[in-house]
Amino acid sequence: MTQTITPCPSCGAPLASVAGYPVWCSGCDWGLDVAEPRRRGLRERFDRWSSRKVEALYEEVARSPAERPGWDAARLASYGPALCVHLFTVALIAFAIWVLAAMRTPVLIFFAVLALLVAWALLPRFGSLRKMPDVRRRPDASALFALLDRVAAELGVRPVDAVVVSGDFNAAYGTVGLRRHRVLLLGLPLWESLTAQQKVALLGHEFAHGANGDSRHGVVVGTSLSTLVRLRALLRPGPPDDRLNYLIDLCLRAMQGVASSLVGSVLVLQHMVTLRAGQRAEYLADRLAARLASPEAAAGMLETLVIAEDTHLTAIQRHMLTGRKTGYWDDLRDALARLPASERERRLRAAARRRLRVDQSHPPTHLRIAVVRGLPAAAPALLLEPDEEQQIRAALTADYALIARRLHDDARERLG
């Protein structure tokens, strides 16, 4: 690796730059500028308000560790907008039934049908395991499920019924279907970037959402949030339609715009009232992850979340450009192992500079890392042995191949 030494344009300290990585100064943070869209007016005030809230909660959690939330005012309030959304849906259906049963005038029937259509759009979707792609059940990967069961037992939550593998750089835990099947969404690029004990920490964090009384993951608030997100995307005006008259198209898109921002405002409101409860639940999930895997591993897992995604994306690019079809996972592991310490530090500091925003589900990662690093060092409650990790990798061999192919093809498609 070639290193060139030049002075920092800002503070004059020697800059050590590693070929292939951006140049920056560890003394004064020169070169760390993070491009962020400038928001004005109400949005800027909202950003400042949310930064203050996020920081205040961090101070509080850092002083006294987050406990499982009781039924305080903040948590009760978090149900307000969600219940309103669901009650509105019920009211629309009741109105339609009443009109269709009692008063059959054409105008009212039109409104009844309209109400039913809106109610249909608002109705919570629970999804269906059978309709989801890439679902793995116990017999498909018994070594993985053995680990998942140990994590679930340790945290006192119900074991998962299925794992959905993907090429995303994330993981999530949720319930699917009316029977509320527990499902783990596992992005293999993130999974493969983690060390054995960091994998335990990731599972610990995700499974903790089934145990920490997090309303955002619950039936009432969770379905309302997903309904609003779906609705906002549905209503967002698309590009102009040439087949329509210009004025009609303009009106239609203006109406869509108004409806979409109306839904967006309810969503922001719901994020605001669930901020405290939701972000507390994230800190608590991190603490449970630290108890399970060790604070060191939990902090390492969070750092990998920040650091490794860029490496994963560049590795795919390079893989696609060289036209290679196999060996993607070896390349990723290799690239991560070769990542210089200064570049790791640069990515961590750049991420910490990004604006603190509440309209994100998790608290800023650097604050989560600080809280976990503040915990007393402790031995892990669950240890993932190297041979066990290897068995899990072997059980997922076909999935690794599938996801690598898909990442390769998607990257090629994006290139056009």
| Interface positions with Zn ion (CB under 5 A) | 8, 10-11, 13, 25, 27-28, 30, 282
Alpha helices, DSSP H, located in 236-340: 246-293, 295-321, 328-338
By C-beta, is 236 or 349 nearer to Zn ion? 349
Nearest-approach distance from CB 11 to Zn ion, in angstroms: 3
By C-beta, is 11 or 114 nearer to Zn ion? 11
Quick one: which H or E segment has residue 166? strand 162-166
Nearest-approach distance from CB 281 to Zn ion, in angstroms: 7
By C-beta, is 256 or 360 nearer to Zn ion? 360
Nearest alpha-carbon partner for 323 in 251, 408, 203, 384 = 408
By C-beta, is 84 or 172 nearer to Zn ion? 172
Could you give the count of Cα atoms lying within 13 Å of 305 in the half-sphere of its Cβ?
A: 21
Nearest-approach distance from CB 293 to Zn ion, in angstroms: 15
Tokens 């004005």, located at residue: 40
By C-beta, is 30 or 329 nearer to Zn ion? 30
3-state secondary structure of 23: coil
Nearest-approach distance from CB 276 to Zn ion, in angstroms: 15
By C-beta, is 112 or 163 nearer to Zn ion? 163
Side by side, which strands form the sheet with 171-176? 135-136, 162-166, 181-187, 171-176
Alpha carbons 416 and 412: distance in angstroms, whole number: 7
Alpha carbons 385 and 382: distance in angstroms, whole number: 10
By C-beta, is 225 or 332 nearer to Zn ion? 225
Alpha carbons 178 and 181: distance in angstroms, whole number: 8
Nearest alpha-carbon partner for 315 in 305, 300, 330 = 330
Q: Which residues of 290-323 are buried (b: 16+ CB within 10 A; e: fewer)?
A: bbbbbbbbbbbbbbbbbbbbebbeebbeebbeee
Nearest alpha-carbon partner for 296 in 238, 400, 378 = 378
Please give the backbone phi and psi of residue 78, each rounded to the nearest 5 degrees, phi first: -65, -20
By C-beta, is 25 or 99 nearer to Zn ion? 25
Nearest-approach distance from CB 222 to Zn ion, in angstroms: 13
